[in-house]
Structure 1
Amino acid sequence: MVLSLASLNLHCGLDHRGAPYSVKAAVAALDTDVIVVQENWRARGTESLAASAAADCGYPCFAELDMVPDAPLADLDVVDGAAPDEVGAWGLAVMSRVPWVSTTAIGIGTAPGDVVGARSAQVIELPGLRVVNVHLTHRLLHGPAQLRRLLAGLRSSRVPTLIAGDLNMCRPTVYLARGYRPAVRGRTWPAQRPVAQLDHVLLGAGVMATGAEVGPNLGSDHLPVRLTIQ
């Protein structure tokens, strides 16, 4: 199965200055078969940014995973100037034009000083391929431990696996993911003048990819990464 995939940290629909950008336009520009996103935001009483974009852009399969179920946006330290009176849920989401078999979650633990409590990874079982959407802690010393917990949780299955998301790790560090190899090379953060690659796609045994690249600035403070699975 040939499958195009992209990953983007939405930054709660805000650019690096805290101004809103169009998540729908970003999703439409990516236009891949599967898109995994991090820092999805759902203001209380509304549907999430990713859910709205998925519906408008023709992604019939959609699932989201809240890691912060109900909190002020300002408490998440997303950006200076974020509306302090906006309360909602923050987490992960995946949208797909390819029907999936199931979606589950794997707990990857907490990190001291992280405003997010217990983090989880989102696991999507597609026909013949497992896609894992993850956002590791920004507390850099604790990211490797969360990555190890994720890998341990994935070992029970031999389905070919791909891990994508904001790992908050530079490229050399991702080699801690034994059995996986990084597919994308290029700086992704901050989007306006990137100095580091925080966003990655890691390929497990039996997963081959072409066209791996860092995409253009779509509004977030992160650049997207995308590729095609063969």
Structure 2
Amino acid sequence: MKLKVASYNIHKAVGLDRQRDPDRIMTILREIDADVIALQEADRRFGLREAVIPRATLDDHSPWRAVEPGHYDRARTGASMGWHGNALLVRREIEVAEACAVPLPTIEPRGAVCATLRMGGALVRVVGMHLDLSGLRRRQQVETVCGHVAGHAEPGHVVMMGDLNEWSPSGGALGAFAAPLKVLAPGRSFPSRRPVAQLDRIVVSDGLRVEGLGVHHSPLAAVGSDHLPVWAELVLP
């Protein structure tokens, strides 16, 4: 069984042309055509923090649905699509067994979302996250997310992905992902116009075979956000 996953910091749908264009983001997501997509900066920053992609656009004109992470404070998050700007989109035919928000230790507002997907007889836990600018906080946040995933009683495969804000190619907070997790390097994804850094990463458990991975380059992706999307094609045993 194959599963294509992708991660994309959509910069609140504001492109390099300074235009907020949710339809452009949706077109880029269709170009990638992944089964599960982790979005970062998917909500507006102020006020009710509404989702920048209208629910009607997602529900009526896409093959995905947004995972409901079970907010800790519905009144504060308002019309958010996820948790602190993190959202998971899942292809409609995939069963979501459970989902939750994962609070992260931080000074600035950060969080992660976790969903358990049932695919045939296998469980796949997917985490979308956007980590801190501080190196110390990033490591603490990785440890928190790994602890959350390890705390599930029912075993399953693991996919973690997002904007990790880690400039080191192999050190820093990446060292907190302990075996049996493998940190993948799809390629340079930031800044989108002329990428020099691998800030966007995908982390998988060793039971998943990686069939392909990369950075999505297209004319729209080059201007749609300050990050490029990353993706990986996985094979479930």
When normalised by structure 1's length, the TM-score is 0.80
Structure 1: gaps spanning 5 or more residues: 72-88
Residue 222 (structure 1) aligned to one of 214, 217, 227: 227
Task: Give the residue type in structure 2 aligned to 1:63.
Answer: E
**Distance between the aligned counterparts of 2:72 and 2:17, measured in 1?**
24
- The 2-side partners of 1:3 and 1:184 are apart by 18
User: Which residue number in structure 2 is paired with residue 130 of structure 1?
Assistant: 125
Using the alignment, how far apart are the partners of 1:169 and 1:62 within structure 2?
Answer: 26
Residue 93 of structure 1 deviates from its aligned partner by 1.0
Q: Which has the higher strand share?
A: 1
1:40–1:50 CA contact under 8 A, matched in 2: no
- Partner in structure 1 of residue 88 of structure 2: 94
CA–CA separation in structure 1 for the residues paired with 2:67 and 2:101: 14
Residue 70 of structure 1 deviates from its aligned partner by: 6.2
Choose 4-13 or 174-183, whichever is displaced more. Answer: 174-183
Please give the residue correspondences for 1:133-212 in structure 2 after superposition, counting only pairs within 5 Å. 133-157=128-152, 158-170=155-167, 171-173=169-171, 174-179=174-179, 180-212=181-213
**Rounded Cα–Cα distance in structure 1 between residues aligned with 2:164 and 2:70:** 17
* Separation in 1, partners of 2:140, 2:77: 26
Q: 1:8: which partner in 2?
A: 8
CA distance 1:23–1:186, shift in 2 (3 Å): same
Identity, in percent, stands at 25
Structure-2 separation of matches of 1:156 and 1:205: 18
**Counterpart Cα distance in 2 of 1:15 and 1:53:** 19
CA contact (8 A) 1:64 1:91 kept: no
Letter in 2 for 1:126: L
DSSP 3-state at the match of 1:121: strand
Unpaired runs of at least 5, structure 2: none
Partner of 1:78 in structure 2?
A: none
- Alpha carbon RMSD of aligned pairs, Å? 2.7
